Structures are given as C-alpha cells and as structure tokens.
Homo-oligomer: A and B are copies of this chain.
Amino acid sequence: MLPFSRVAIIGLGLIGGSIARAVRHHMPTVALVGYDGDPAVRARVEELGFVDDVADSAGAAVTDADLVMLCVPVGAMRAVAEEFAADLPAEAIVSDVGGSKASVLADLAAALPGATIIPGHPVAGTEHSGPDSGFATLFHNRWCIITPPDGAPEAAVERVRSFWEQLGARVEVMDPRHHDIVLAVTSHLPHLIAYTIVGTASDVEEVTQSEVIKFSAGGFRDFTRIASSDPIMWRDLFIANRDAVLEILQRFTEDLTALQRMIRWSDGDALQEHFTRTRAIRRSIIEQGQDDARPDFGRAHD
C-alpha cells in the first residue's frame, strides 16, 4: 500500500533530489511534482528528469499533492510555506527534512494554520549540494526522525513513517525538543567543530596552505568533508537550534580544557584512559550498520 500518491517536493537539492529519485525507484507509480526557488535549479531538474513535472511556483507544485515535502534550509521554511499556503489542499500532509525541529514546527504552524504538519528529519547526506548530487539509496538503513506536534493525527504520523520506510529508512518518533538536543550532539556540534578547525588550519602563519593540503592525510582531511557542506543550510541550522548548540558546545569546551590540562602536565595515564574509552563507540556504530565497516571509511588506497 502506498502512503501517498501525489508528492510535491519543494527544494530540489541533495535531499529533495534524493527523495525524488528514491520515490521513483521504490514507489514508481507515485506522481512527483518538484519546485525550487532557483530558476537554474528548475531548469537543471527538467534536464535530469527525476520528477514528472517541474512547477513554476510553490503554489502550483502543491495544488494536487497529498504529501508536500519541504527540502529547503530551515531559515526558509516559513517563507516558502507562506508562498503556497493558499493553494494547499485541506487533506494534504506537510512534512520537511530540516535538521532542527522545534523551529520548523513553530514556523510551519504559523504559516499554515489548520494544516496537518508532521515534521521529519532523515539523518543522511553527503558533503555535496544541488540537484545533481542526490541518489536513490541515500536513505537506505539510515534513521529518519519524525517529530509530530502534540495532538497530531496518528494516521498521518503512520503515513509519513510508511513513506520513509518505503524509501529504505528506519523511523523513530521523537519530541521536537529532544530531537534538537540529540542532533546538537550527533550533527551540529561535529559540523561546528569541523568548520572551526578547517578555518584554524588555514590561518596558522607558520604553516602554508600547501602544507595543510599535502599532509592532510594525518587526520585533517576527515574534517574537510563535513566542512564543505552547504553553507546556507548550516548557517540556518546553528541559528535555529542555537540554545541546544550552545549548551553542547559548553560541554565540549570543558572536556577539551580537561584534555588540554592532561597534555600540559604530561598526564599519560589519564590521556590513555580517555583514548581507550572512545574506541568502543565506533565499534557499536559499525555493528549497528551506521558506518562503513571497511578501514578508513572504504577510501581507495591505490
């Protein structure tokens, strides 16, 4: 049974484009309409052909939809919802893929009074952006978190759950505020740290840019991947989830200061104990299928 038969995707970058390709693959009879605010993206999606129809406006995209999936940066959610509010069918479900959920729920509820809003967040992606970067298997075995508001119709939640499961994802339902603190830990802080260290490395006077690049295989290059994610998406996320990010960042800074002190005092035992403890968590991540089991993420070595 298909949970939806006419899906509108607003925002046709990495995630929107991957959802479209995955729907094509897993639910080929679903009618797909796409819209993006950028005319160049719309033109490119016409060429790529991963939706049945590219609409000229957000309103035209949603007019026949039973699912409207918003795949725009979280700072743009409210404005784009206001754009199509007048055209939204009463029975449609509105969902999204934004990385902060309390802010998105508030923004969509304000823009779409009376609509059935079931926000979501597939925890998946790559460092690439744009309509060419998506692929149908992006959500396979990844988790999608659904954060319905209090009182949301259970049937609507189940349809959104079914949608993601049919794309190959595993689904967890969560309170929006809890989502925001969990993702501050597993996604927002890692990105903030990666963006910081890549900036720091670029600015050390004694070390040339060329040296940073040549010798990046010592560990640095790992950080450059997530530090090349979409800048606007991340600008919006840090602002939308500010309180949780700042709280977790404070924890991180305290822990870093503790390690700094161990180094300053050459406390080898404490360092070794800390470094041993952190090994176990990677084992669990691999055992649970959340990372590539091959050494070095499966990077090519020849």
A residues bordering B, Cβ < 8 Å?
A: 75, 99, 123-128, 133, 135, 137-138, 140, 142-143, 145, 172, 178, 181-183, 185-204, 206-207, 209, 211-229, 231-232, 234-236, 238-239, 242, 245-246, 248-249, 251-253, 255-256, 259-260, 263-264, 266, 268, 271-272, 274-279, 281-285, 288, 290-292, 294-302
Contacts and interface: CB of A to CB of B under 8 A. Distances in A.
A183 B219 CA distance: 9
A292 B268 CA distance: 34
B186 A193 contact: no
Given A125-B217, A140-B301, A195-B259, 4 more contacts: A187-B215, A187-B220, A231-B276, A292-B299
Contact of A127 (B124, B235, B296): B296
A116 B75 CA distance: 62
Contacts of A281: 198, 201-202, 209, 212-213, 224, 227
A34 to B, nearest CB: 21
Nearest to A273: B231
B279 A217 contact: no
Contacts of A245: 263
Nearest to A239: B266
A139 to B, nearest CB: 9
A261 to B, nearest CB: 10
Contact of A277 (B75, B202, B215, B248): B202
Given A138-B301, A276-B231, A299-B297, A212 B186 contact: yes
Contacts of A226: 219, 222
Contacts of A251: 200, 203-204
Given A200-B248, A281-B213, A298 B297 contact: yes
Contacts of A297: 225, 292, 296-299
Nearest to A234: B275
A296 B229 CA distance: 11
A218 B290 CA distance: 10
A172 B299 contact: no
Nearest to A128: B295
